[in-house]
Amino acid sequence: MPSRRFRSAAAALLLLATIAFAGCQKIQARQEVKRGNEAFKAGNYPSALASYENASRLDPSQSKLQKSIGLAYMAMYQPGSKHPKDLQFAAKAIENLKAYLAAHPEDKRANEFLVSMYLSTDRYDDAIAFYKQRLQSNPKDVKAIQSLAAMYFKKGDFNQGFEWLNKRTALEPDNPEAYVMIGVQAWDRSYHFPDIDPATRTQIVDTGLHAVEKALQIKPDNFDALTYINLLYREKAKVETDPAKQQEDIAAADKYRQQALDLRKKAAATTPTPEPGK
């Protein structure tokens, strides 16, 4: 009996010691987080990272620390740099932000940070996968659809970019913004890639013209639509082989250019002049 009581007492003491040790580690972890936050605010990101990682080792149950670790790596990364150290920082930032979001998908700011890291490192396929996953829960998420279009254009996939912009116009048929964006991308494609075969280039320009004409039907005083319909008609003139039709395209471009200038003058005339000292 004494031996059994001794073993029970020893087990109880061990349990209490374990609990006390765990409690002590949690206190130490909170202290490390506080030090990390202070270092982060001071711009000392390597020190902040060390404190956050120590806190995570002391208290692995704190999944929110992965966000802090990810942000510290993100702050240490130099956007656009291809140096191995910066690529490592970027990879670690993405790794930790993804792990955090797996447990806290509702954190919108963390989602934005993750996407910004994808874009900073030209990981367009990852950004596309991210937005497609978002659409699974909300197929009518216009911002996600717009972002997908932008990602495909950045990748150079013009057809997919157009396809996603058309999906946006289907959801917002009375919003001129998506139609203008189609015009912008059509002009960009024609202007910066003049070696495209004439038939394809003409098709792209006509697609853009149709879109901005739709935008002007919705909002006749849309400055951006007027600007890009002018530019698109000039692109159309470049591939037109009939001199008479070419002059018609240039005349149309001049007409819309003048409308855009008149609109700008009208807006400037109605803008109040700020009083001195205000």
CA 120, chain centre distance (Å): 9
Instruction: Determine the Cα–Cα distance for residues 160 and 165; give it in Å rounded to an integer.
Output: 9
Least confident of 31-35, 83-87, 166-170: 31-35
- Region 75-86: mean pLDDT is 92
CATH 1.10.10.60 applies to domain 31-122 = no
Look up residue 21 and give its two tokens: 């040790």
Inter-axis angle of helices 158-171 and 198-218, to 10 degrees?
Answer: 20
d(CA 232, CA 190): 9
65-76 vs 2-41: helix axis angle to the nearest 10?
A: 30
The answer to whether residue 278 scores a pLDDT higher than 80 is no
Q: Which CATH class is domain 174-270?
A: mainly alpha
Q: Where are the domains of the chain?
A: 31-122, 174-270
pLDDT above 70 coverage of the chain, percent: 88
- Encode burial over 254-265: b for 16+ CB neighbours within 10 A, e otherwise: eebbebbeebee
Please state, as a whole number, how many other Cβ atoms lie within 10 Å of the Cβ of residue 196: 16
What pTM value is reported for the model? 0.74
Contact between 47 and 39 under an 8 Å Cβ cutoff? The reply is yes
Residue with tokens 């000292």: 277
pLDDT tens digits for 179-214?
A: 999 999 999 999 999 899 999 999 999 999 999 999
What is the pLDDT at residue 174?
95
Cβ atoms 263, 223 nearer than 8 A: yes
- φ/ψ of 105, rounded to 5, equals -65, -15
Same fold, 31-122 and 174-270: yes
Query: Can you tell me the distance from the alpha carbon of 148 to that of 164, in angstroms, rounded to the nearest whole number?
Result: 7
Residue among 58, 64, 66 at smallest CA distance from 22: 58
The pLDDT value recorded for residue 272 is 65
Q: Are 185 and 158 in contact (CB under 8 A)?
A: yes
